[in-house]
Amino acid sequence: MTHALDITIDEYLEIERTYVDAELQRILPPEDEYPQSIHRAMRYSVFAGGKRLRPILCLEAGRLFGTNERPLLRLAAALELIHTYSLVHDDLPALDNDDLRRGKPTNHRVFGEALAILAGDALLTLAFETVAASGLAPPERQARLVKDLAHAVGTRGMVGGQVVDLAAAAHAEENSGAGPPDSVTLHYIHAAKTGSLICAALRTGALAAGASEGDVERISAYGAKVGLAFQIADDLLDVLGSSESLGKAVGKDGRQHKSTYPALHGVEESQRIAARLVDEARAVLAPYEERGRRLGEMAHYLITRQR
């Protein structure tokens, strides 16, 4: 919403969060709309206190290439709906079986498993309805954007990464003592399950603004690097962070035999890898000079955040 560069990154994130939240309020069916139970469940997780990082990255990419209009905001909000669906499903007993998310009981703990599954389904569906009806012109641009977004969250992106993540954890559990997977598999899991959506947020933001192919690829390269760095930071927070500030259990990755960078590379080397990725991501932005400053700051924020 703001272009002012003289406010801190924290102030900037707060303003953007409010801007995204207002759009999410408009998009989600009201709690009293029939059937009320599903709308309550959807809203519960969307408004549970997320940082809105994917929408903010999308908005910033759109602005970098000259758009700051309503269709961009709708797209940004849709990304948060997809992100929230992935968290609701990730927390289910059949997946990570978590009781706490963003400092609150997880969706299935409040609404039951069946409704949590359906709330996730409905959030994903609503996201694509929102993008398809965003009014982005020309229509070919909108179609391309929908295709790229779907690709990023399907089996060649987020869902694929989640599948391999679960398979690796099951393998480690069955073969007690087996360590994390090899570095190529670990890289795939992180880049796919988390990096894909973050990268798509940036890529679709650039597409919405009608950026050139070269710029779309450049911003996607930045997105792939910060997306991977973000998940490494998430792994590190599970080891080094506190459950109070994270709003979820810590130390669970180890207990669940999760494939993580600290488990394979150790804490310090993981910190170095994440920092290197952020440096590389910032270097990708160099041609945009001052216009890319916020994205450069965001890259740094993504690995230094405490929650």
Name the residues that contact ligand FPP, by CB under 6 A: 50-51, 53, 83, 86-87, 89-90, 102, 158-159, 162, 193-194, 231, 234
- Window 72-91: contact mask with Mg ion (x via CB under 5 A): ------------------x-
Nearest 5°: phi and psi at 71? -55, -35
The DSSP H or E segment spanning 104 is: strand 104-105
From ligand FPP, Mg ion, none, interface partner of 194 (C-beta below 5 to 8 A by class): ligand FPP
Nearer to Mg ion, 90 or 234 (CB): 90
Nearer to ligand FPP, 132 or 159 (CB): 159
- According to the binding rule CB under 5 A, does residue 238 interact with Mg ion? no
Token pair in block for residue 52: 């809105």
Nearer to Mg ion, 60 or 96 (CB): 96
Q: Please, is 95 exposed, middle or buried when counting C-beta atoms within 10 Å of its C-beta (0-12, 13-18, 19+)?
A: middle
Residue 203 near residue 62, CB atoms below 8 Å: no
Amino acid at 219: I
Q: In whole angstroms, give the CA distance from residue 64 to residue 66.
A: 6
> Cβ 280 to ligand FPP, closest distance in Å?
20
Token pair in block for residue 277: 């990725």
* 3-class DSSP assignment, residue 114: helix
Q: In whole angstroms, give the CA distance from residue 207 to residue 275.
A: 28
Nearer to Mg ion, 193 or 294 (CB): 193
Nearer to ligand FPP, 56 or 208 (CB): 56
Nearer to ligand FPP, 162 or 270 (CB): 162
Q: Nearest residue to ligand FPP, using CB? A: 50
> Cβ 141 to ligand FPP, closest distance in Å?
27
User: According to CB under 5 A, which one of 96, 215, 234, 235 is a site residue for Mg ion?
Assistant: 96
From Mg ion, ligand FPP, none, interface partner of 238 (C-beta below 5 to 8 A by class): none
Residue 53 near residue 200, CB atoms below 8 Å: no
* 3-class DSSP assignment, residue 48: coil
Q: In whole angstroms, give the CA distance from residue 44 to residue 46.
A: 6
From Mg ion, ligand FPP, none, interface partner of 53 (C-beta below 5 to 8 A by class): ligand FPP
> Cβ 169 to Mg ion, closest distance in Å?
8
CA nearest to 79, candidates 230, 200, 243: 200
Residue 86 near residue 116, CB atoms below 8 Å: no
Nearer to ligand FPP, 65 or 227 (CB): 227
Interacting residues toward Mg ion by CB under 5 A: 90, 96
